[in-house]
Amino acid sequence: MADGDTQVPELSFPLDIPCLKRGAMEGTKPFVAAPEHQAKLGYPGTLVPDWKERALAKMKELAEKNRAFQVYLDICVKCGACTDKCHYFLGTGDPKNMPVARQDLLRSVYRRYFTFAGKNFPWLVGARDLTEDVLHEWYSYYHQCSECRRCSVFCPYGIDTAEITMAAREILDSIGYGQKYSNEIIGKVHEIGNNLGLRPKALAATLEGLEEDIEDDTGVTVRLPLDEKGADILLITPSADFFAEPHIDGLIGYAKVFHEAGVSWTLSSYASEAANFGLFIGSYENMREVSLRIRKAAQDLGVKRIIFGECGHAWRVAYSFLNTLAGPFDFLDQNYPIPQHMLEFTWDEIQKGTLRLDPSRNDHIRLTYHDSCNVARASGMGDYPGGQFEIPRNVIKAVCNNYFDMDPDTIRESTLCCGGGGGLLTDDLMDLRVKGAAPRMKALQQVTDEHGVTHMAAICAICKTQFSKVMPKYGYEMDSILSIHQLVSNAIILTGQDTGGDAKDDDTEDAA
Amino acid sequence: MLGIVFALLFYAATAILVIGVAAKIRTYARVPAPLKIPTTPAPKTGFGVVLRMAREVIFFESLFKSNKWIWVFAWMFHMALWLVLIRHLRYFTQPVWWWVQLAQPFGTYAAFAMIAGLAGLWARRVLVERIRYISNPSDHLMLALLVGIGASGAATRFVAHTDIVAVKTYMLGLMRLSVGDLPADPILLVHLFLVAVLMIVFPISKLLHAPGVFFSPSRNQIDNPREKRHLAPWAAKLEG
């Protein structure tokens, strides 16, 4: 769907509940994966003739391999607690975007074939046959879920729609009906090592260019090393950090922090990607294969620590799954968290006093912070519950004088998805992305009205890309979205840096 | 004759309930959770998880965060149901335990709170467009069944007093596998029949949420993935 067709939703407050608009998003679906994208991931190229049998067999297998899938399909009581919690429902009004209704698209089939009630009294419990229409409906609505887990916070049983979405996508993949965007990207990581398909030579050239930029800006030589054996720290960061705005300013921030902390670090051209889209398609095997690249890179380079840059779902896979998928990491220094988040590192350094920071260098910015869903609800930071909310804010407050939180119902564990997560950050879903961003945009508009907020920071590559694309539709400049380490980069005064009247980072000039 | 029919019904219902729920619990316990997926922020210790789960099942913490109306009705219904169930233990014990005695006065009136809570939930199911959309016939029937149990039970006490001493004698007999006479009180028979139906549908319906919540990975997992490696048996085989 072209950008121009989208009706930007007018909400009167961020969590404004719409009336049901049946079928509103019925036609929406992303491009289907081509046979060559499917093949690289070990899936059938096109829809297999015996898709029905194989889909049901896969469903049975998942119920036997994944407790969440089994339990969540059984125990929903249809209380309605989740019905107004999904940003895609709030933005579109389509009832099938209510979390429980989205689950029911699959639960109805599960009941029909695997439960006593559904086998014998399908009309009573809303069970239905698996038909081709159902399959297309799955493809459509399971690609209208960003797996952000907001519904799971509010469910009295913790039912997580993301688990059902991932299972549905895995079933679709296994019968040859995959999504182009995610599967093509995973193929690139398997082949080349990052989502962009950026080759080592190009990556080296990019990093050299950045080193020159920093030297031009500050007069100080700050290195961005690549494939340096014997470095202490391996930095794994989303490949968007190598080329896109505002991501790249975040990467410059990491480099400056490492430089001032006096540690040796390196990037890897073999594992040049933090993102792991294997999560989005619910594939343990693909997620594992991508993760193992990081293990191999760490071993080959002989590093002692692994640190991850700003990326939401990547941090979920890193924090919650990396030890499972690619561990044990007994060859790394056990005195540090494995893996560690860049913000944990920077906050430690700030507390130690190794960084010279001048927050007034961000005085042209009035800032709010968007908690990224996967960081907020699917991972942690620091050594206490909720560190993932405090540490980013602590760092922000150390580098920025004007900070304001958005509506408490839209931040921290209740944060809203940016609208582009979970494998939906593709132009063929732009209409959905704009609508799904509506609740967050309304919360942002509120702090703009109340406190004159000009910019929003995020620590997720997907959030940053999504917001730079959809914010203009809501009256903000595309560079109103910032990396936290971009703010750090602005505020940090490097040892030996000439601060006499140097220009501020022109990427963050006042946009309001 | 009536005594024998209900005896058979209750023996069958009890067997289905116990075996059915045990089988489900066995499945939930045996299927592995391949990854750490607690909804964070989550407790970092086992004791913390016990507290989280206790807040969830005693106070309905997440539901409270979600929607105060559903919470009020659901919490009122469930807590009243507990009181009613505890009070009913007096029909299966001799002598009656002291804490069951204690619950007696609250337990009788809890029936009204229970029915009121159910009525509130049912009203929402009909009146709120979103919840009407997600409701199946079985969701309405379940409410009807519970309201029927509550109303018929309350009626045996507040409308047409049943011969409760005879009922107790019958129940104590059933527990020793000796079938006696059951008073032919129609309200009582309706009450007992509906309870048996509830026991039978328990393991094949959404009532499984009661044991199921304890197996929900997003609520029962400890948030310590970096400190302790978590590996499902089938996933370990991939490492071969």
Q: For chain B, give every domain's residue range.
A: 45-219
Q: Does A334 touch chain B (CB under 8 A)?
A: no
The pLDDT value given to residue A412: 97
What digits encode the pLDDT tens for the residues A164-187?
Answer: 999 999 999 999 999 999 999 999
Please report where in the chains the tokens 């989303």 appear, as a residue.
Answer: A238
Task: Name the residue among A116, A124, A121, A85 with its Cα closest to residue A103.
Answer: A85
Question: What 8-state DSSP symbol labels residue A245?
Answer: T
By the 8 A CB rule, do B60 and B52 touch?
no
- HSE toward the beta carbon, residue A202, CA cutoff 13 A: 11
Residues A40 and A164 reside in one and the same domain = yes
What is the SS3 assignment for A149?
A: coil
Domain boundary among A158, A185, A212: A185
How far A74 CA sits from the closest chain B CA (Å)? 6
User: Considering only alpha carbons, which residue of chain B is nearest residue A385?
Assistant: B41
Question: What 8-state DSSP symbol labels residue A193?
Answer: S
At a CB cut-off of 8 Å and minimum separation 6, what does A501 contact?
A: none
Which of A80, A155, A163 is nearest residue B130 as measured by Cβ atoms?
A80
ipTM of the assembly? 0.96
What is the SS3 assignment for A367?
A: strand
Domain boundary among A185, A205, A226: A185
Write out chain A residues lying below 8 Å of B234, CB-based: 65
What digits encode the pLDDT tens for the residues A464-495?
Answer: 999 999 999 999 999 999 999 999 999 999 99
The answer to whether B134 contacts A339, with C-beta atoms less than 8 Å apart, is no
Residue A424 lies in a domain: no
Phi and psi at A356, nearest 5°, equal -95, 115
Residues A111 and A199 reside in one and the same domain = no
* Burial of A281 from C-beta contacts in 10 A (0-12 / 13-18 / 19+): buried
Write out chain A residues lying below 8 Å of B204, CB-based: 115-117
Nearest-angstrom CA–CA distance, A222 and A52: 57
Residues A96 and A10 reside in one and the same domain = yes
The pLDDT value given to residue A511: 39
Residues A90 and A9 reside in one and the same domain = yes
The angle subtended at Cα A169 by Cα A102 and Cα A135, nearest 5°, is: 70
Residues A224 and A360 reside in one and the same domain = yes
Cα A293 to Cα A326, A487, B166, distances in angstroms: 9, 31, 73
By the 8 A CB rule, do A17 and A90 touch?
yes
Q: Across residues A344-366, what is the average pLDDT?
A: 98
Please report where in the chains the tokens 């599967």 appear, as a residue.
Answer: A183
What is the SS3 assignment for B88?
A: helix
Other C-beta atoms lying within 10 Å of the C-beta of residue A32: 17
The pLDDT value given to residue A6: 79
Per-window interface: A 439-478 vs B, CB < 8 A: none
- Does the pLDDT of residue A508 top 70, yes or no? no
What digits encode the pLDDT tens for the residues A292-304?
Answer: 999 999 999 999 9
Residue A429 lies in a domain: no
Write out chain A residues lying below 8 Å of B40, CB-based: 376-380, 385, 388, 413
Residue A61 lies in a domain: yes
The pLDDT value given to residue A512: 37
Break chain A down into helix, strand, coil percent, rounded to 5: 55, 5, 40
The size of the A-B interface in CB pairs under 8 A is 210
Nearest-angstrom CA–CA distance, A102 and A29: 15
* A483 strand-pairing partners: A458
Which of A95, A153, A380 is nearest residue B133 as measured by Cβ atoms?
A95
Nearest-angstrom CA–CA distance, B45 and B223: 7
**pTM: predicted TM-score of the whole model, two decimal places:** 0.95
- Does the pLDDT of residue A510 top 90, yes or no? no
Nearest-angstrom CA–CA distance, A488 and A482: 11
Q: Across residues A248-252, what is the average pLDDT?
A: 98
The angle subtended at Cα A120 by Cα A118 and Cα A121, nearest 5°, is: 65
Task: Name the residue among A376, A474, A424, A427 with its Cα closest to residue A88.
Answer: A424
By the 8 A CB rule, do B208 and A72 touch?
no
Q: How far apart are the first and last CA of chain A?
A: 30
- Domain holding A487, by residue range, is 188-404+453-508
Pick the CATH number of B45-219 from 3.30.1180.20, 1.20.950.20, 1.25.40.10, 3.40.390.10: 1.20.950.20
Residue A334 lies in a domain: yes
By the 8 A CB rule, do A426 and A456 touch?
no
The answer to whether B37 contacts A323, with C-beta atoms less than 8 Å apart, is no
User: Considering only alpha carbons, which residue of chain B is nearest residue A289?
Assistant: B238
Write out chain B residues lying below 8 Å of A155, CB-based: 62, 66
Residues A173 and A194 reside in one and the same domain = no
Residues A163 and A192 reside in one and the same domain = no
Residue A430 lies in a domain: no
> Which of A21, A67, A316 is best to mutate for the B interface (most B CBs within 10 A)?
A67
Across all residues in chain A, what is the average pLDDT? 95
Nearest-angstrom CA–CA distance, B70 and B78: 12
Nearest-angstrom CA–CA distance, A193 and A305: 20
Report residue A498's pLDDT band, with 50, 70 and 90 as the boundaries: confident
Residues A255 and A289 reside in one and the same domain = yes
The angle subtended at Cα A194 by Cα A459 and Cα A208, nearest 5°, is: 80
Question: How many independent structural domains does chain A possess?
Answer: 2
Which of A64, A67, A124 is nearest residue B33 as measured by Cβ atoms?
A67
By the 8 A CB rule, do A403 and B63 touch?
no
By the 8 A CB rule, do A226 and A186 touch?
no
Break chain B down into helix, strand, coil percent, rounded to 5: 75, 0, 25
Residues A303 and A222 reside in one and the same domain = yes
Chain-centre distance of CA B201, in angstroms?
A: 12
The answer to whether A75 contacts B216, with C-beta atoms less than 8 Å apart, is yes
The H-assigned helical ranges of A302-418 are 312-316, 322-326, 342-352, 373-378, 387-399
Residue A434 lies in a domain: no
Q: Does A324 touch chain B (CB under 8 A)?
A: yes
Q: Across residues A304-320, what is the average pLDDT?
A: 98
Which of B41, B62, B208 is nearest residue A156 as measured by Cβ atoms?
B62
Question: What 8-state DSSP symbol labels residue A481?
Answer: E
Write out chain A residues lying below 8 Å of B230, CB-based: 323-324
* Burial of A177 from C-beta contacts in 10 A (0-12 / 13-18 / 19+): buried
How far A72 CA sits from the closest chain B CA (Å)? 7
By the 8 A CB rule, do A425 and A462 touch?
yes
The pLDDT value given to residue A501: 53
User: Considering only alpha carbons, which residue of chain A is nearest residue B142?
Assistant: A77
Report residue A500's pLDDT band, with 50, 70 and 90 as the boundaries: low
The pLDDT value given to residue B166: 96
By the 8 A CB rule, do A82 and A88 touch?
no
Report residue A4's pLDDT band, with 50, 70 and 90 as the boundaries: low
Collect the ranges in chain B with pLDDT lower than 70: none
Residue A144 lies in a domain: yes
Residues A199 and A119 reside in one and the same domain = no
Task: Name the residue among A16, A312, A14, A1 with its Cα closest to residue A149.
Answer: A312
At A187, list the tokens: 């193929």
Residues A268 and A328 reside in one and the same domain = yes
Residues A369-384 as b/e (b if ≥16 CB within 10 A, e otherwise) read bbbbbbbbbbbbbbee
By the 8 A CB rule, do A254 and A485 touch?
yes
What digits encode the pLDDT tens for the residues A204-248?
Answer: 999 999 999 999 999 999 999 999 999 999 999 999 999 998 999
What is the SS3 assignment for A457?
A: strand
Per-window interface: A 188-247 vs B, CB < 8 A: none
Residues A208 and A342 reside in one and the same domain = yes
